[in-house]
Amino acid sequence: MKVYYENETSLDSLKNKKIAILGYGSQGHAHALNLKESGMDVIIAEVKGSDAWNKASEAGFEVLEAADAVKAATVIMILLPDQLQKKVYDDAIAPNLKEGDTLVFAHGFNIHYKQIIPPENVNVMMIAPKGPGHLVRRTFSEGSGVPCLIAIYQNPAGNTKDMALAWAKGIGGTKAGVIETTFKDETETDLFGEQAVLCGGSAELIKAGFDTLVEGGYAPELAYFECMHELKLIVDLYYEGGLSRMNYSVSDTAEYGGMSRGSKVITEETRKIMRDILKDVQDGSFAQEWIAEHAAGQPNMNKLRDDNKNHAIEKVGAKLREMMSWVKK
Ligand code: NDP
Ligand code: MG
């Protein structure tokens, strides 16, 4: 598979274009600041009077409401929460789109599940950093970057891929590597990954390990260090050198214990459930559920958020992290 890096990509196709970034949140502030420092002409759309509006303005951006920003720009990046994008698109973006404009996403949800259907005379592309917005900003400031996926959905201009690569370069992505995929594959792998492994699977693994130790009579502080804090150090080893670097660095006892016991935790049944989760993503039933959940005022989401907030690991963790001056608030 082709991976794009710094020397074979150029910023030219986006230079001299007015870029509007809608939403100055996690991804929004990172794309906006990185592109500005790469020499691009960026304006921001936010909700008038919001904290984010003020932050963007203090960072030196011209800040407008969404409809005005779309009118002023020719490249429009939607960095709003996925569940709000359709409404903002219908109300503020669609009525102001011009032939030849370029619509940009950082995740394929709304295009792939047909919540947003752009007109055919508009270019549609995606630049999806494989990391949270704050890392997209921090790594850029440090001179490195977060790997990105790009995808092209519509290309009436003929140079949409050049623009996607220019964007990825402008936010630092080509320092780490950029690969081309489709809206479908990005959406489905991203949703599966966050549900089964990154956000869902890992959080439940941590809680289950913590609960098991605390039920076994061990101090919650000990359980926290073991099951949450130390996980970062282990994941850093995966990040640097894969499974083998982790196994090389831990003791032989940990390596044997881990290899012989891990598959008792993640069993064939767990793998079957992962396949079910993937199927719900592929056939659109997860998307339908999330759209309905949002429309109903997110009752289940609020309950799940409360459950997490009240879990014992959050209480003990907050106390222990107070003493770690190097851990960012
Ligand atoms: P956030 O929730 O962090 O930020 C969204 C911002 O949009 C907030 O500042 C919000 O303001 C603002 N906003 C809400 N409504 C409007 C409106 N009508 N007009 C203008 N601004 C508005 O979103 P994320 O950065 O997490 O997500 C953005 C996109 O990036 C999504 O498609 C997501 O899937 C994708 N993505 C996110 C990643 C991440 O790490 N977070 C990783 C890769 C992709 P307020 O705070 O006032 O509500
Ligand atoms: Mg993701």
pLDDT digits over 264-319, tens only? 999 999 999 999 999 999 999 999 999 999 999 999 999 999 999 999 999 999 99
Residue 88 Cβ < 6 Å to ligand 1: yes
- Residue 51 Cα to ligand 2 midpoint, Å, equals 25
Could you say which ligand is closest to the alpha carbon of residue 43? 1
Residue 19 near residue 77, CB atoms below 8 Å: yes
Tell whether the torsion through CA atoms of 157, 160, 161 and 167 is positive or negative. positive
- Arithmetic mean of pLDDT over the chain: 97
pLDDT band at residue 322 under the 50/70/90 scheme? very high
Which residues does residue 151 pair with via DSSP β-bridges, in sequence order? Answer: 126, 181
Residue 50 Cβ < 6 Å to ligand 1: yes
Per-residue model confidence (pLDDT) at position 16: 92
Q: DSSP secondary structure string, 188-214?
A: HHHHHIIIIIITHHHHHHHHHHHHHHH
Token digits for 72? 């002023």
Q: Which helix (DSSP H) or strand (DSSP E) does residue 82 occupy?
A: helix 82-88
Residue 84 Cβ < 6 Å to ligand 1: yes
Residue 56 near residue 36, CB atoms below 8 Å: no
Q: Is 37 helix (H, G, I), strand (E, B) or coil?
A: helix
**What radius of gyration, in Å, describes the C-alpha atoms of the chain?**
22
Q: Which residue has the tokens 């519509």?
A: 154
- List of E strands, the chain: 18-22, 41-45, 63-64, 75-78, 102-105, 123-129, 148-154, 178-181
Per-residue model confidence (pLDDT) at position 327: 83
- Residue 257 Cα to ligand 1 midpoint, Å, equals 42
Could you say which ligand is closest to the alpha carbon of residue 188? 2
Residue 24 Cβ < 6 Å to ligand 1: yes
Alpha carbon distance 39, 6 (integer Å) = 16
pLDDT band at residue 326 under the 50/70/90 scheme? confident
- Which is nearest to 89 in space by CA: 45, 26, 127, 126? 45
Residue nearest to atom 27 of ligand 1 (CA): 81
Dump pLDDT digits (tens) for 244-276: 999 999 999 999 999 999 999 999 999 999 999
Alpha carbon distance 166, 276 (integer Å) = 37
- Residue 121 Cα to ligand 2 midpoint, Å, equals 29
Reply yes or no on whether 107 is catalytic: yes
What is the arithmetic mean of pLDDT over 54-75? 98
Residue nearest to atom 34 of ligand 1 (CA): 107
Considering the candidates 29, 31, 107, 112, report the single residue annotated as catalytic.
Answer: 107
Per-residue model confidence (pLDDT) at position 92: 98
Dump pLDDT digits (tens) for 40-53: 999 999 999 999 99
pLDDT band at residue 161 under the 50/70/90 scheme? very high
What is the arithmetic mean of pLDDT over 209-235? 97
